[in-house]
Amino acid sequence: MSNGTKDRSGNTPYRTLRERILTLELRPGSVLDEASLTRQLDVSRTPIREAIIQLIADGLVVREGRSARVAPLDIDDIPPLYDALLISSRMIQRLAAEFRTEADLQIIREKMTLFENAIPSQRGAVLSEANYAFHLAISASAKNRYFSEFYERVLIGSLRFNRACFSGNVYATKHTKEHLSVTAEQHRDILQAIENGDIEEADRLAVEHHRLARHRLEKVLSMGALAISDQTDLSLVQSI
């Protein structure tokens, strides 16, 4: 067994476990057994324990006594989660418009382009990560680690709910192309407002972007999504 911090694919245990949780390969409530994970990832227990600690900080794992479990998904958490997402995204985009640098803008622009380039594939996992990276770049440009840490945790929470709700959903599949087009357009508008230093416009666009995501989620939930335990095919249709 390797004493290093990377598994055989070159990923750190943290990244590997995070991906498995976000893609629901590791289901909500499932136990993270250290001994089993060390064998699977061919690493020592130390990086596994470090990964679990980080995942707990991200809100993706919870500690129950000596056991660690994938954090449960409770549909009742969606309204407060999306309220937190709205408030934090507004503040992050306001701060980004005020404090961004030219270097920040270049990174945001690069992440936006990566998202747009991923659209033709309609691979949900790739699109979700690209969308997440775009918003993280904006978060970094806000220059406030307290807001950024909170915002990033809320973003991760929304990723999990989206995965659960959109996997195999007929509505999501039917409207994916339209949604991606609107999302990309809003990304461009957000970047423009931040580039212009227009704080009020950045704030307004944060509300508009949030409304797009929340409406899509509510539409899917109204169709009875989030029955994760009953799904065997969790191939991600599109979950941003």
Dihedral sign for Cα atoms in the order 140, 141, 144, 147? negative
Percent of the chain with pLDDT over 90: 58
Distance from C-alpha of 127 to C-alpha of 240, rounded to nearest angstrom: 7
List strand residue ranges (DSSP E) for the chain, in order: 61-64, 67-70
Residue 218: CB atoms within 10 Å: 13
Q: DSSP class of residue 31? A: B
Q: Which amino acid type is present at position 72?
A: P
| Confidence at residue 167, expressed as pLDDT on a 0 to 100 scale | 59
For domain 13-70, which architecture applies? Orthogonal Bundle (1.10)
- Asked if 13-70 and 75-230 have one fold, the answer is no
| pLDDT, tens digit (0-9, with 9 covering 90-100), for 11-64 | 689 999 998 888 788 888 999 999 999 999 999 999 999 999 999 998 899 998
Q: Closest by alpha carbon to 95, among 52, 141, 136?
A: 141
**Distance between CA atoms of residues 69 and 30, nearest Å:** 5
Q: Per the structure block, which two tokens stand in for 136?
A: 């993280």
φ, ψ for residue 72 (rounded to 5)?
-70, 160
Predicted confidence (pLDDT) per residue in 75-127, tens digit: 888 899 999 999 999 999 999 999 999 999 999 999 999 999 999 887 777 88
- Residue spans of the domains in the chain: they are 13-70, 75-230
What pLDDT score was predicted for residue 9? 43
Q: Is residue 137 predicted with pLDDT exceeding 90?
A: yes
The CB-based long-range contact list for 140-146 (8 Å cut-off, 24+ gap) reads 140/104, 140/107, 141/95, 141/96, 141/99, 141/100, 141/101, 141/104, 141/105, 141/107, 141/108, 141/194, 142/91, 142/92, 142/93, 142/95, 142/96, 142/99, 142/100, 143/95, 143/99, 144/95
CA-CA distance, 68 to 72, in Å (whole number)? 12
Which tokens belong to 115?
Answer: 């998202």
- For residue 133, the Cα-to-chain-centroid distance in whole angstroms is 8
Contact 225, 165 (CB under 8 A): yes
| Fold annotation for 75-230 | Four Helix Bundle (Hemerythrin (Met), subunit A) (1.20.120)
Across the range 178-187, mean pLDDT stands at: 94
Is the pLDDT at 238 greater than 50? The verdict is no
- Chain-wide mean pLDDT for the chain? 85
Q: Of 112, 134, 118, 129, which Cα lies nearest the Cα of 19?
A: 129
- For the chain, how many residues are written? 240
Which residue, chain included where needed, has tokens 């991200």?
58
